[in-house]
């Protein structure tokens, strides 16, 4: 019994110690939990943070958070398309100090890419200074470069001040930033995106603005449009560096996943009685210097034996790589070798992954266009509500001013007799049946507005406001009117920024290049020496050597 009593006392003591320890840890802010479940939860939180807040663009405005914050910060700094540029360091400082609590190098690199015409099909930032090159040269330090918004970027920011999007607190809750931009420009398809998150990645190729705008209009007019019909409009990706591309476009746009084969643009020229291969366009995201080095290494390794000279004559943003061939060489076999052994032919794996309503989703072409149209419907609805509210507020003031101006002597007399502004306001409300806003507007009126000219201006403004209110109410009352506005705005984008396609779409299938495609068919002579050595020579070279030996023997005799 005594032993059992002791054990019970020890158990109670341990329990008391555990409770005391738990209470102490809670007081210190320590949470007792199972480590594996806590690590799992922490890792999932980190993964979602990378997916949603850093690596994956939103389908609505086609931007990653850092890109959105760069454009918004530049707008807040007053860096409009027609304004003077400002130091990149100032812009980056505003972004990381107000909206994006990450490294300045990452923000600057994102801004540099937005300014590169070989990275983005339609650059969003105008860069002044060294912003890198297609040769892989890095941009100058942010203290040396300047930037401002491009004309086309203003289409993404348009109507931001008209309560069109939600504003959320920034990282330290000291400011507000837009959750998304209004996104009049269908940026996701136009400029594409690439990003690696946790467990998922996105690679979206850029497209031609004219084709995308035509596809949006066709979809709005016919929601049942087929993928085949859309592929007749959007023929395929359009890379800023040009070249050509081949792949199953129908399957790509149906599933949002596919593989493309890209090729640079190669032509031939005659140079000093020899043929020369000229590379004028290279595949997307290919470093030109690496390509030239790669060709030079292949010549040294004797995988490309028929090249006599190699030089880069590129200048002023135009690519020109000259490959001189030896005399009598057929260029087709050398071109095949370039496709096989170098990145003049490259692949592009498409994964059309984007955030749709904050959730990552692989989307097909129709889903991307539908998301753009639905988002623009929301933006135009919010904009119209804001404009209607402002128009009605102004109409109320204008009507009150006209009432007072029609009996200006009586209104002035009433105001003069009043002992205070409050008494004057109450007197005007009672005498003319006005609202508080109208009464205050009358009290704030300037003497110059009492002229007959000003009265006629107010009457004209009242008629314009009435017409504007009717139009806005019509828009808000009929979704078809909103769709008409979307079509009108998309056509304006096409007229203002539309251009010709840079990348050629290859209809024929690009097959694997075999060894047979690299060897030129020609007559050869096989000679075997007494010691068993075997040698292969062109018939032409063999005859030349034979004639030389024959003539030298004749001279010696």
Arithmetic mean of pLDDT, 455-463: 89
pLDDT over 90 (residue 170) = yes
Cα–Cα distance for residue pair 230/393, rounded to 1 Å: 45
Position 383 scores a pLDDT of 96
Same domain, 290 and 380: no
pLDDT at 10: 47
Residue 187 belongs to some domain of the structure: no
> What is the longest distance spanned by two Cα atoms in the chain?
139
**pLDDT of res. 141:** 96
355 burial type by CB count under 10 A (0-12 exposed, 13-18 middle, 19+ buried): buried
CA quadruple 316, 319, 323, 328: dihedral positive or negative? negative
Q: Do 169 and 116 share a domain, yes or no?
A: yes
Average pLDDT estimate for 319-339: 88
Q: pLDDT tens digits for 353-391? A: 999 998 999 999 999 999 999 999 999 999 999 999 999
- Which of 219-228, 265-274, 430-439 reaches the highest mean pLDDT? 219-228
CATH number of the domain encompassing residue 100: 3.90.199.10
Q: What is the CATH number of the domain that holds 303?
A: 3.30.1360.40
- At what angle are helices 408-417 and 365-406 packed, to 10 degrees? 80
Are 377 and 488 within one domain? Answer: yes
Band of pLDDT at residue 96, cut at 50, 70 and 90: very high
Of 198-202, 270-274, 496-500, 508-512, least confident by mean pLDDT is 508-512
Closest Cα partner for 493 from 242, 57, 183, 233?
183
Q: What is the reported pLDDT for 51?
A: 75
> What is the spatial distance between Cα 266 and Cα 160, in angstroms, rounded to a whole number?
45
Q: Is the pLDDT of residue 35 over 90?
A: no
489 and 387, same domain (yes or no):
yes
Which of 164, 182, 200 is the last residue before a domain boundary? 182
Are residues 334 and 381 both part of a single domain?
no
d(CA 492, CA 486): 10
Mean pLDDT of 90-117: 95
14-28, 281-295, 409-423, range with the lowest pLDDT? 14-28
Query: Which of the given ranges, 167-171, 416-420, 543-547, has the highest pLDDT on average?
Result: 167-171
Closest CA to 178 of 190, 195, 161, 153: 161
Give the number of other Cβ atoms within 10 Å of residue 495's Cβ. 10
Interacting residues of 221 by C-beta distance below 8 A, sequence separation 6+: 487
Q: Which residues pair with 138 in a beta bridge?
A: none
Cβ atoms within 10 Å, residue 304: 21
Each residue of 488-498: pLDDT tens digit?
A: 999 999 999 99
- On the question of pLDDT at 3 being above 60, the answer is no
Is 38 within the bounds of a domain? no
Whether residue 344 has pLDDT greater than 70: yes
What is the share, in percent, of the chain residues with pLDDT greater than 70?
88
Is residue 351 domain-resident? no
* 302, 393, 459, 481 from 470: Cα distances, Å: 77, 14, 17, 13
State pLDDT tens for residues 471-482: 999 999 999 999
Would you state the structure tokens that stand for residue 268, as one six-digit string? 């031939």
Angle at the Cα of 293 (from 318 to 106), degrees rounded to 5?
Answer: 70
Report residue 527's pLDDT band, with 50, 70 and 90 as the boundaries: confident
Q: What is the CATH number of the domain that holds 390?
A: 1.10.268.10
Span of 155-169, 444-458, 513-527 with lowest mean pLDDT:
513-527
- Confidence at residue 36, expressed as pLDDT on a 0 to 100 scale: 81
Closest CA relative to residue 542, chosen from 556, 522, 516: 522
Q: Are residues 388 and 452 in the same domain?
A: yes
Give a yes or no: residue 481 inside a domain: yes
Q: Is the pLDDT of residue 401 over 70?
A: yes
Q: Same domain for 384 and 307? A: no
Q: Indicate whether 24 pLDDT > 70.
A: no
Q: Are residues 400 and 486 in the same domain?
A: yes
Tokens 């005594």 label which residue?
A: 2
DSSP for 498-531 reads -----SEEP-S---PPPGGGGS----EEEEE-TT
Handedness of CA 160, 164, 169, 170 (dihedral sign): negative
Q: In the predicted model, what is the mean pLDDT of residues 142-147?
A: 96
d(CA 241, CA 318): 10
User: What local confidence, expressed as pLDDT, does residue 12 receive?
Assistant: 53
Q: How many domains does the chain contain in total?
A: 4
* Structural tokens at position 214: 């035509």
Mean pLDDT of the chain: 88
Domain contains 452 = yes
Q: Are strands 274-281 and 167-169 parallel, antiparallel or unpaired?
A: unpaired
pLDDT at res. 346: 93
pLDDT above 80: residue 6: no
Burial class (CB in 10 A: 0-12, 13-18, 19+), 65: buried
| Inside any domain, residue 429 | yes
Provide the domain limits for residue 546. 524-556
Assess whether 481 and 386 both reside in one domain: yes
Q: Are strands 201-204 and 193-196 parallel, antiparallel or unpaired?
A: antiparallel
pLDDT value of residue 1: 46
Residue 377 falls inside a structural domain: yes
Active site residues: 144
* 357 part of a folded domain: no
Are 373 and 493 within one domain?
Answer: yes
Q: pLDDT-based confidence at 514, cuts 50/70/90?
A: low
Confidence at 75, pLDDT banded by 50, 70, 90: very high
pLDDT for 8 equals 45
- Per-residue b/e over 257-283, b at no fewer than 16 CB within 10 Å? ebebbbbbbbeeeeeeebbbbbbebbb
pLDDT given for residue 210 in this prediction: 97
CB neighbours of residue 509 within 10 Å:
9
Per-residue pLDDT at 22 exceeds 60 = no
Alpha helices in 407-532 (DSSP H): 408-417, 421-432, 436-443, 452-477, 479-497
The residue to which tokens 């931009």 are assigned: 181
**493 shares its domain with 540:** no
CB 445 within 8 A of CB 454: no
Is residue 21 very low, low, confident or very high in pLDDT (cuts 50, 70, 90)?
low
Clarify whether residues 80 and 173 are in a common domain. yes
């Amino acid at each position: 019994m005594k032993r059992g009593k002791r054990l019970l006392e020890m158990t109670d003591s341990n329990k008391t110690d555990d409770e005391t320890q738990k209470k102490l840890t809670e007081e210190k802010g320590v949470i007792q939990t199972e480590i594996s479940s806590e690590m799992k939860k922490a890792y999932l939180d980190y993964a979602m943070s990378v997916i949603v807040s850093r690596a994956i663009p939103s389908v609505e405005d086609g931007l990653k958070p850092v890109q959105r914050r760069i454009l918004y910060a530049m707008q807040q700094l007053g860096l409009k398309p027609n304004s003077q540029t400002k130091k990149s360091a100032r812009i980056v400082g505003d972004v990381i100090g107000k909206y994006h609590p990450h490294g300045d190098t990452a923000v600057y690199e994102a801004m540099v890419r937005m300014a590169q015409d070989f990275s983005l099909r339609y650059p969003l930032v105008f860069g002044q200074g060294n912003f890198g090159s297609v040769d892989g040269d890095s941009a100058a330090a942010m203290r040396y470069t300047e930037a401002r918004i491009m004309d086309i970027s203003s289409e993404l920011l348009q109507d931001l001040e008209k309560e069109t999007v939600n504003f959320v607190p920034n990282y330290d809750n000291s400011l507000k930033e837009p959750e998304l931009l209004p996104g009049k420009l269908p940026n996701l398809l136009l400029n594409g995106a690439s990003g690696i998150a946790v467990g998922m990645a996105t690679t979206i190729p850029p497209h031609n603005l004219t084709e995308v705008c035509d596809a949006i209009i066709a979809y709005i007019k016919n929601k049942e449009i087929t993928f085949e019909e859309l592929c007749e409009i959007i023929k395929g990706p359009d890379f800023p560096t040009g070249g050509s591309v081949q792949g199953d476009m129908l399957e790509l746009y149906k599933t949002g996943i596919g593989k493309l084969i890209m090729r640079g643009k190669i032509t031939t020229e005659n140079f000093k009685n020899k043929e020369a291969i000229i590379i004028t366009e290279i595949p997307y995201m290919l470093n030109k210097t690496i390509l030239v080095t790669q060709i030079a290494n292949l010549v040294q390794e004797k995988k490309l034996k028929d090249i006599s000279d190699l030089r880069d004559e590129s200048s002023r943003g135009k690519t020109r790589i000259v490959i001189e061939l030896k005399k009598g060489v057929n260029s087709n076999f050398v071109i095949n070798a370039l496709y096989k052994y170098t990145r003049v032919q490259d692949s592009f794996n498409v994964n059309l992954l984007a955030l749709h309503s904050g959730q990552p989703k692989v989307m097909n072409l129709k889903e991307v266009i539908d998301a753009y149209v639905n988002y623009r419907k929301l933006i135009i609805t919010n904009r119209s509500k804001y404009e209607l509210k402002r128009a009605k507020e102004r109409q109320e003031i204008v009507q009150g001013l006209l009432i007072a101006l029609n009996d200006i002597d009586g209104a002035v007399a009433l105001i003069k007799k009043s002992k205070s502004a409050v008494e004057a306001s109450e007197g005007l409300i009672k005498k003319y049946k006005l609202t508080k806003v109208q009464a205050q507007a009358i009290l704030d009126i300037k003497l110059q507005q009492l002229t007959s000219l000003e009265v006629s201006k107010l009457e004209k403004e009242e008629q314009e406001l009435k017409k504007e209110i009717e139009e806005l109410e019509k828009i808000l009352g009929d979704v078809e009117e909103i769709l008409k506005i979307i079509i009108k705005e998309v056509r304006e984008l096409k007229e203002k920024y539309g251009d010709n396609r840079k990348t050629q779409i290859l209809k024929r299938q690009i097959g694997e290049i075999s060894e047979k495609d690299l060897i030129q068919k020609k007559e050869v002579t096989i000679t075997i020496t007494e010691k068993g050595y075997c040698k292969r020579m062109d018939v032409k070279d063999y005859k030349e050597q034979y004639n030389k030996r024959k003539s030298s023997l004749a001279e010696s005799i």
